[in-house]
Amino acid sequence: MSKSLEELKHIYLRLVNYLLSGDLAFVILKSIREELLKDNETKDDIFIGTVIISSYNTMVLTLANSIKPNSESIHLTYFFNCVRESKKKLGDEKYNQIMAHIGEFETELERVSKITKAIIELRDTTVAHVDRKHVNNPSALFKDQPISWEDMELAITVISCGLLELGKHLGLSENLPDYIHLAKFSLTRKTKKVYDMSYRQ
């Protein structure tokens, strides 16, 4: 499983791009939730229901798949192990630099391990089957959320920030976090604009 720096970058970028889809889904979901709370009423029509369920499933699925070990897919543990086995190809200095950050990253992941385990369980019990309650009443995902929004946001922040910081140690663009921040900001504005046009006209 020893990899060159370029091979590690390729694996890393695939993981980042996959996780980003869940991160952006969370942005949409959070924005809609904020608007619903402002209106203080339930809107369970076909549009809002589809957006809520699709965003929720994408968020849970990508987060869980990024952290749940699986012999057939790329995930954080796989990437960390690839780095650990690539010392000769990376050289001592680069290897030690990357491994120092991975050590810090793993500590942060351990700190939120109860949340990430709950996310994996959510994937296995909610996303992996059709829950009639969520089909009939999509807003129940906000009211009966098994993981608090604060915990969900903390887990997403720890994973995405840790992964983006790791990219810098791999020698990738230091501007990537800025681009992603701008994408999230733009998506928040557009989501709220669509909601406003659909439900406040």
Spell out, as residue ranges, where the chain has pLDDT lower than 50.
135
pLDDT at 138: 55
Q: What is the pLDDT of residue 144?
A: 57
Count structural domains, the chain: 1
Helix, strand, coil share of the chain (percent; to 5): 80, 0, 20
Sign of CA dihedral 13, 17, 22, 25: positive
The parent domain of residue 165 ranges over 5-199
Give the pair of three-digit tokens for residue 81.
């192990």
Say which residues have a Cβ less than 8 Å from residue 89's Cβ, sequence separation at least 6.
2, 3, 4, 5
pLDDT given at position 81: 95
The reported pLDDT for the residue numbered 65 is 92
Q: How many CB atoms lie within 10 A of CB 123?
A: 19
Do 15 and 172 form a contact (C-beta atoms < 8 A)?
no
